[in-house]
Structure 1
Amino acid sequence: MDMNSEAAKDWYHVIFGTYGSWLPGDPRGFRTRGHKLHCEGDYKNRPAAGQFESLHEYSQSLMVREAVRLTLPQRKCVCSALAESLKHYGITVNEIAVAKQHMHLLAQFEMNDKQYKPQIMTLIGKCKRWAITKLKEQHLCDESSGKLWAKSGKVICMKNERHFKNTSQYIMNHIREGAAVYSLMAGESES
Protein backbone atom coordinates (compact mmCIF):
# COMPACT_ATOMS: atom_id res chain seq x y z
CA MET A 1 0.00 0.00 0.00
CA ASP A 2 1.47 3.33 -1.05
CA MET A 3 0.46 6.20 1.17
CA ASN A 4 1.77 9.59 2.12
CA SER A 5 1.53 11.05 5.60
CA GLU A 6 -1.82 12.69 4.78
CA ALA A 7 -3.36 9.40 3.64
CA ALA A 8 -1.94 7.61 6.69
CA LYS A 9 -3.84 9.97 8.99
CA ASP A 10 -7.13 8.25 8.15
CA TRP A 11 -5.77 4.96 9.58
CA TYR A 12 -5.92 4.26 13.31
CA HIS A 13 -4.58 1.54 15.58
CA VAL A 14 -7.21 0.86 18.23
CA ILE A 15 -6.38 -1.16 21.34
CA PHE A 16 -8.81 -2.22 24.05
CA GLY A 17 -8.82 -4.84 26.75
CA THR A 18 -11.12 -7.15 28.58
CA TYR A 19 -12.47 -6.40 32.05
CA GLY A 20 -9.72 -6.50 34.69
CA SER A 21 -6.92 -7.12 32.20
CA TRP A 22 -4.76 -4.13 33.14
CA LEU A 23 -5.45 -2.42 36.45
CA PRO A 24 -3.90 0.59 38.16
CA GLY A 25 -0.83 -0.63 40.02
CA ASP A 26 -0.17 -3.46 37.53
CA PRO A 27 3.42 -4.69 37.85
CA ARG A 28 3.77 -4.42 34.03
CA GLY A 29 3.34 -0.65 34.34
CA PHE A 30 0.10 1.28 33.96
CA ARG A 31 -1.46 4.61 33.16
CA THR A 32 -4.20 6.18 35.24
CA ARG A 33 -7.00 8.15 33.61
CA GLY A 34 -5.86 11.69 32.98
CA HIS A 35 -2.39 10.66 34.24
CA LYS A 36 -3.44 11.46 37.81
CA LEU A 37 -0.70 9.15 39.06
CA HIS A 38 2.58 8.98 37.21
CA CYS A 39 4.11 5.55 36.75
CA GLU A 40 7.64 5.31 35.41
CA GLY A 41 7.89 2.43 33.00
CA ASP A 42 5.61 0.35 30.85
CA TYR A 43 5.25 -3.29 29.83
CA LYS A 44 8.71 -3.21 28.16
CA ASN A 45 10.51 -1.30 30.94
CA ARG A 46 8.63 -2.24 34.06
CA PRO A 47 8.52 -0.11 37.21
CA ALA A 48 10.49 -1.25 40.26
CA ALA A 49 9.12 -4.50 41.71
CA GLY A 50 6.54 -3.89 44.43
CA GLN A 51 6.47 -0.12 43.86
CA PHE A 52 2.71 -0.08 43.27
CA GLU A 53 1.75 -3.37 44.92
CA SER A 54 -0.73 -1.84 47.37
CA LEU A 55 -2.46 0.09 44.57
CA HIS A 56 -2.73 -3.10 42.49
CA GLU A 57 -4.19 -5.02 45.44
CA TYR A 58 -6.67 -2.20 46.05
CA SER A 59 -7.65 -2.16 42.35
CA GLN A 60 -8.22 -5.92 42.45
CA SER A 61 -10.39 -5.56 45.56
CA LEU A 62 -12.71 -3.19 43.65
CA MET A 63 -13.40 -5.74 40.94
CA VAL A 64 -16.89 -7.22 41.03
CA ARG A 65 -15.78 -10.42 39.27
CA GLU A 66 -12.72 -12.23 37.99
CA ALA A 67 -10.69 -10.73 35.15
CA VAL A 68 -12.01 -11.82 31.75
CA ARG A 69 -9.87 -14.16 29.65
CA LEU A 70 -11.44 -15.07 26.34
CA THR A 71 -11.43 -18.70 25.24
CA LEU A 72 -10.41 -19.55 21.69
CA PRO A 73 -14.03 -19.94 20.52
CA GLN A 74 -14.86 -16.57 22.12
CA ARG A 75 -11.83 -14.93 20.46
CA LYS A 76 -12.89 -16.22 17.05
CA CYS A 77 -16.46 -15.03 17.58
CA VAL A 78 -15.37 -11.57 18.76
CA CYS A 79 -12.93 -11.20 15.86
CA SER A 80 -15.61 -12.07 13.32
CA ALA A 81 -18.21 -9.85 15.02
CA LEU A 82 -15.84 -6.85 15.14
CA ALA A 83 -15.01 -7.23 11.44
CA GLU A 84 -18.71 -7.58 10.54
CA SER A 85 -19.77 -4.62 12.68
CA LEU A 86 -17.03 -2.28 11.44
CA LYS A 87 -17.88 -3.16 7.85
CA HIS A 88 -21.55 -2.42 8.63
CA TYR A 89 -20.51 1.12 9.63
CA GLY A 90 -18.50 1.53 6.41
CA ILE A 91 -15.11 1.20 8.07
CA THR A 92 -12.30 -0.43 6.10
CA VAL A 93 -10.51 -2.89 8.38
CA ASN A 94 -6.95 -3.89 7.60
CA GLU A 95 -6.35 -6.23 10.56
CA ILE A 96 -7.95 -7.36 13.79
CA ALA A 97 -6.31 -9.53 16.44
CA VAL A 98 -8.30 -10.75 19.44
CA ALA A 99 -6.10 -12.25 22.16
CA LYS A 100 -7.11 -13.60 25.59
CA GLN A 101 -7.20 -10.20 27.29
CA HIS A 102 -6.91 -7.52 24.63
CA MET A 103 -7.68 -6.64 21.04
CA HIS A 104 -5.92 -4.67 18.34
CA LEU A 105 -7.36 -3.37 15.13
CA LEU A 106 -6.04 -1.25 12.30
CA ALA A 107 -8.82 0.48 10.42
CA GLN A 108 -9.59 3.50 8.30
CA PHE A 109 -11.83 6.02 10.04
CA GLU A 110 -12.34 9.19 8.04
CA MET A 111 -12.21 11.82 10.76
CA ASN A 112 -12.29 15.54 10.06
CA ASP A 113 -11.84 16.43 13.69
CA LYS A 114 -8.70 16.49 15.82
CA GLN A 115 -10.81 15.03 18.64
CA TYR A 116 -10.97 11.67 16.88
CA LYS A 117 -10.58 9.40 19.93
CA PRO A 118 -14.08 9.95 21.43
CA GLN A 119 -15.69 9.45 18.02
CA ILE A 120 -13.77 6.27 17.31
CA MET A 121 -14.30 4.87 20.81
CA THR A 122 -18.06 5.54 20.55
CA LEU A 123 -18.16 3.48 17.36
CA ILE A 124 -15.94 0.79 18.92
CA GLY A 125 -18.39 0.66 21.85
CA LYS A 126 -21.18 -0.20 19.41
CA CYS A 127 -18.99 -2.89 17.85
CA LYS A 128 -18.16 -4.36 21.28
CA ARG A 129 -21.88 -4.54 22.08
CA TRP A 130 -22.45 -6.35 18.76
CA ALA A 131 -19.68 -8.81 19.69
CA ILE A 132 -21.44 -9.53 23.00
CA THR A 133 -24.69 -10.13 21.10
CA LYS A 134 -22.90 -12.61 18.84
CA LEU A 135 -21.26 -14.36 21.82
CA LYS A 136 -24.70 -14.81 23.39
CA GLU A 137 -26.22 -16.05 20.12
CA GLN A 138 -23.52 -18.71 19.92
CA HIS A 139 -23.98 -19.58 23.63
CA LEU A 140 -20.39 -18.51 24.37
CA CYS A 141 -21.49 -16.25 27.23
CA ASP A 142 -24.72 -15.62 29.05
CA GLU A 143 -26.47 -12.81 30.91
CA SER A 144 -24.68 -13.75 34.14
CA SER A 145 -21.25 -13.29 32.52
CA GLY A 146 -21.27 -9.62 33.46
CA LYS A 147 -19.02 -7.01 31.96
CA LEU A 148 -16.58 -8.25 29.30
CA TRP A 149 -14.72 -5.10 28.30
CA ALA A 150 -12.45 -2.61 30.02
CA LYS A 151 -13.79 0.96 30.16
CA SER A 152 -11.47 2.65 27.74
CA GLY A 153 -8.89 1.98 25.11
CA LYS A 154 -6.15 3.60 23.13
CA VAL A 155 -6.34 5.14 19.65
CA ILE A 156 -3.15 5.88 17.71
CA CYS A 157 -3.21 7.77 14.43
CA MET A 158 -0.83 6.40 11.80
CA LYS A 159 1.94 8.85 10.93
CA ASN A 160 3.10 7.44 7.61
CA GLU A 161 3.33 4.27 5.53
CA ARG A 162 6.17 2.83 7.62
CA HIS A 163 4.17 3.30 10.82
CA PHE A 164 1.18 1.66 9.12
CA LYS A 165 3.22 -1.37 7.95
CA ASN A 166 4.92 -1.83 11.33
CA THR A 167 1.57 -1.66 13.13
CA SER A 168 0.01 -4.08 10.67
CA GLN A 169 2.82 -6.59 11.22
CA TYR A 170 2.66 -6.12 15.02
CA ILE A 171 -1.06 -6.92 15.00
CA MET A 172 -0.63 -9.98 12.77
CA ASN A 173 2.16 -11.27 15.05
CA HIS A 174 -0.47 -11.79 17.78
CA ILE A 175 -1.40 -15.04 16.05
CA ARG A 176 1.71 -16.48 17.79
CA GLU A 177 0.04 -15.96 21.17
CA GLY A 178 -3.18 -17.64 20.09
CA ALA A 179 -5.08 -14.60 18.90
CA ALA A 180 -7.93 -14.94 16.44
CA VAL A 181 -6.92 -12.79 13.49
CA TYR A 182 -8.70 -11.08 10.61
CA SER A 183 -6.79 -9.58 7.69
CA LEU A 184 -8.17 -7.60 4.77
CA MET A 185 -5.90 -9.59 2.47
CA ALA A 186 -6.67 -13.06 3.82
CA GLY A 187 -10.03 -12.77 5.58
CA GLU A 188 -10.26 -14.63 8.87
CA SER A 189 -7.29 -16.76 9.89
CA GLU A 190 -7.06 -19.60 12.31
CA SER A 191 -5.25 -18.83 15.53
Structure 2
Amino acid sequence: MFNQPLGYFISFRTYGTWLHGDERGSVDRRHNQFGTPLVSPSNARQGFESQSLRHEPVELTPDGRRVVLDSIREVAHHKAWTLHAADARTNHVHVVIAAPLFPERVMNILKTWATRRLREAGLARQDQRIWSRHGSTIYLFRPENMAEKIRYVNECQ
Protein backbone atom coordinates (compact mmCIF):
# COMPACT_ATOMS: atom_id res chain seq x y z
CA MET A 1 0.00 0.00 0.00
CA PHE A 2 1.29 3.46 -0.93
CA ASN A 3 1.65 5.99 1.88
CA GLN A 4 0.73 9.47 0.70
CA PRO A 5 3.69 11.80 1.30
CA LEU A 6 3.26 15.03 3.23
CA GLY A 7 4.82 16.79 0.27
CA TYR A 8 7.70 16.89 -2.18
CA PHE A 9 11.04 18.66 -2.33
CA ILE A 10 11.45 19.54 -6.00
CA SER A 11 14.57 21.09 -7.53
CA PHE A 12 15.33 21.95 -11.14
CA ARG A 13 18.11 23.83 -12.90
CA THR A 14 18.23 26.35 -15.65
CA TYR A 15 19.42 25.19 -19.05
CA GLY A 16 23.14 24.62 -19.50
CA THR A 17 24.30 25.64 -16.02
CA TRP A 18 25.31 22.21 -14.63
CA LEU A 19 26.61 19.88 -17.32
CA HIS A 20 27.60 16.22 -17.16
CA GLY A 21 31.28 16.00 -16.27
CA ASP A 22 31.04 18.93 -13.83
CA GLU A 23 33.14 18.41 -10.69
CA ARG A 24 29.98 18.57 -8.54
CA GLY A 25 28.76 15.35 -10.18
CA SER A 26 25.54 14.81 -12.09
CA VAL A 27 22.94 12.21 -12.97
CA ASP A 28 22.45 10.75 -16.44
CA ARG A 29 20.53 7.79 -17.86
CA ARG A 30 23.16 5.32 -16.58
CA HIS A 31 23.77 7.00 -13.21
CA ASN A 32 20.30 7.67 -11.85
CA GLN A 33 19.49 5.17 -9.13
CA PHE A 34 19.31 6.30 -5.51
CA GLY A 35 22.51 5.48 -3.65
CA THR A 36 24.57 4.78 -6.77
CA PRO A 37 27.57 6.83 -7.92
CA LEU A 38 27.09 10.05 -9.86
CA VAL A 39 28.66 10.78 -13.24
CA SER A 40 32.39 11.21 -12.59
CA PRO A 41 34.02 14.59 -13.15
CA SER A 42 35.48 14.84 -16.64
CA ASN A 43 36.72 17.95 -18.43
CA ALA A 44 36.33 16.13 -21.75
CA ARG A 45 32.70 15.23 -21.07
CA GLN A 46 31.91 18.71 -19.77
CA GLY A 47 33.49 20.21 -22.90
CA PHE A 48 31.45 17.91 -25.13
CA GLU A 49 28.25 18.80 -23.28
CA SER A 50 29.07 22.51 -23.55
CA GLN A 51 29.60 22.21 -27.32
CA SER A 52 26.26 20.38 -27.61
CA LEU A 53 24.21 23.24 -26.12
CA ARG A 54 21.64 24.68 -28.53
CA HIS A 55 22.08 28.17 -27.10
CA GLU A 56 23.82 29.96 -24.25
CA PRO A 57 23.20 28.80 -20.67
CA VAL A 58 20.27 30.49 -18.93
CA GLU A 59 20.75 32.53 -15.78
CA LEU A 60 17.74 34.14 -14.15
CA THR A 61 17.94 37.88 -13.53
CA PRO A 62 16.38 39.38 -10.39
CA ASP A 63 13.25 40.12 -12.47
CA GLY A 64 13.30 36.57 -13.84
CA ARG A 65 13.58 35.11 -10.36
CA ARG A 66 10.58 37.18 -9.25
CA VAL A 67 8.54 36.04 -12.27
CA VAL A 68 9.38 32.39 -11.58
CA LEU A 69 8.38 32.68 -7.91
CA ASP A 70 5.17 34.49 -8.82
CA SER A 71 4.32 31.76 -11.35
CA ILE A 72 4.89 29.04 -8.74
CA ARG A 73 2.57 30.81 -6.31
CA GLU A 74 0.03 31.32 -9.10
CA VAL A 75 -0.10 27.70 -10.23
CA ALA A 76 -0.20 26.40 -6.64
CA HIS A 77 -3.17 28.66 -5.92
CA HIS A 78 -4.88 27.80 -9.23
CA LYS A 79 -4.54 24.05 -8.63
CA ALA A 80 -5.25 24.25 -4.86
CA TRP A 81 -1.84 22.79 -4.00
CA THR A 82 -0.16 23.66 -0.71
CA LEU A 83 3.04 25.60 -1.32
CA HIS A 84 5.24 25.39 1.77
CA ALA A 85 8.36 27.09 0.41
CA ALA A 86 9.88 28.20 -2.88
CA ASP A 87 13.05 29.96 -3.95
CA ALA A 88 14.35 30.83 -7.40
CA ARG A 89 18.10 31.40 -7.67
CA THR A 90 20.09 32.44 -10.72
CA ASN A 91 20.54 28.86 -11.92
CA HIS A 92 18.06 26.69 -10.02
CA VAL A 93 14.70 26.53 -8.27
CA HIS A 94 13.69 24.74 -5.05
CA VAL A 95 10.07 24.06 -4.10
CA VAL A 96 8.46 22.28 -1.14
CA ILE A 97 4.89 21.54 -2.11
CA ALA A 98 2.00 19.17 -1.42
CA ALA A 99 -0.05 18.11 -4.44
CA PRO A 100 -2.18 15.08 -5.37
CA LEU A 101 0.05 14.23 -8.35
CA PHE A 102 3.39 12.51 -8.73
CA PRO A 103 6.23 14.99 -8.20
CA GLU A 104 7.54 14.64 -11.76
CA ARG A 105 4.20 15.90 -13.07
CA VAL A 106 4.16 18.74 -10.53
CA MET A 107 7.68 19.74 -11.59
CA ASN A 108 6.71 19.76 -15.27
CA ILE A 109 3.68 21.93 -14.55
CA LEU A 110 5.80 24.37 -12.52
CA LYS A 111 8.37 24.60 -15.34
CA THR A 112 5.65 25.12 -17.96
CA TRP A 113 3.96 27.95 -16.06
CA ALA A 114 7.29 29.62 -15.25
CA THR A 115 8.41 29.43 -18.88
CA ARG A 116 5.14 30.93 -20.08
CA ARG A 117 5.36 33.80 -17.60
CA LEU A 118 9.04 34.49 -18.42
CA ARG A 119 8.17 34.73 -22.11
CA GLU A 120 5.14 36.93 -21.46
CA ALA A 121 7.38 39.27 -19.43
CA GLY A 122 9.89 39.45 -22.30
CA LEU A 123 12.57 37.76 -20.19
CA ALA A 124 12.94 34.69 -22.42
CA ARG A 125 12.77 34.18 -26.17
CA GLN A 126 10.09 31.95 -27.67
CA ASP A 127 12.75 29.58 -29.05
CA GLN A 128 14.83 29.53 -25.86
CA ARG A 129 14.95 26.46 -23.67
CA ILE A 130 14.81 27.67 -20.05
CA TRP A 131 15.14 24.50 -17.98
CA SER A 132 17.39 21.47 -17.99
CA ARG A 133 15.80 18.10 -18.57
CA HIS A 134 14.05 16.67 -15.49
CA GLY A 135 15.34 17.63 -12.02
CA SER A 136 15.22 16.19 -8.51
CA THR A 137 12.06 14.95 -6.82
CA ILE A 138 12.15 13.82 -3.19
CA TYR A 139 9.14 12.42 -1.36
CA LEU A 140 8.73 13.81 2.16
CA PHE A 141 6.91 11.43 4.52
CA ARG A 142 7.94 12.69 7.94
CA PRO A 143 7.16 16.10 9.50
CA GLU A 144 10.81 16.59 10.45
CA ASN A 145 11.88 16.03 6.82
CA MET A 146 9.30 18.59 5.66
CA ALA A 147 10.54 21.08 8.26
CA GLU A 148 14.17 20.48 7.27
CA LYS A 149 13.50 21.12 3.56
CA ILE A 150 11.31 24.17 4.26
CA ARG A 151 14.08 25.62 6.43
CA TYR A 152 16.67 24.86 3.74
CA VAL A 153 14.65 26.62 1.04
CA ASN A 154 13.77 29.62 3.21
CA GLU A 155 17.03 30.13 5.09
CA CYS A 156 19.95 28.34 3.45
CA GLN A 157 19.90 29.67 -0.09
One fold, TM greater than 0.5? Answer: yes
User: Which whole-Å CA distance do the structure 2 matches of 1:164 and 1:130 have between them?
Assistant: 24
**Pairing of 1:76-155 with structure 2 (within 5 A):** 76-110=66-100, 119-144=102-127, 146-155=128-137
C-alpha distance after superposition, 1:86-131 (max 9, x if no partner)? 22122110011000010000011235xxxxxxx3322332332222
Asked whether 1:31 is paired with 2:35, we answer no
Does the aligned pair in 2 maintain the 1:15–1:103 contact within 8 Å? yes
TM-score by length of 1: 0.71
Q: Report the Cα distance in structure 1 between the residues aligned to 2:30 and 2:74, rounded to whole angstroms.
A: 32
| Unaligned 5+ runs, structure 2 | none
Secondary structure of 1:70's partner? coil
1:35 is paired with a residue whose SS is coil
Q: Distance in 1 between matches of 2:110 and 2:26?
A: 25
Q: Deviations over 1:43-88 (max 9, x none)?
A: xxxx6xxx51111111111111111110000000111011101221
- Is the Cα contact below 8 Å between 1:99 and 1:174 reproduced in 2? no
User: Separation in 1 of the partners of 2:30 and 2:100?
Assistant: 26
- Please give the root-mean-square deviation of Cα atoms over the aligned residues, in Å: 2.2
Look up the equivalent residue of 1:127 and give its one-letter code: L
Q: Distance in 2 between matches of 1:167 and 1:10?
A: 12
* Structure 2 residue aligned with 1:160: 142
Q: 1:128 to 1:90 in 2, by over 3 A?
A: same
Structure 1 residue ranges without an equivalent (≥5): 1-5, 41-46, 112-118, 176-191
1:33 is paired with a residue whose SS is coil
CA distance in 1, matches of 2:138, 2:148: 13
Question: Does structure 1 retain, via aligned residues, the 8 Å contact 2:6–2:146?
Answer: no
How far off its partner does 1:147 sit? 0.3
CA contact (8 A) 1:69 1:101 kept: yes
- In the alignment, which residue of structure 2 is the partner of 1:188? none
* Larger-gyration structure (1/2): 1
2:94 counterpart SS class: strand
Q: Deviations over 1:1-36 (max 9, x none)?
A: xxxxx67x2311001111012111011111222417
Aligned length: 152
- 2:130 and 2:16 mapped to 1: Cα distance? 9
Please, which of 57, 73, 88 is the counterpart of residue 47 of structure 2? Answer: 57
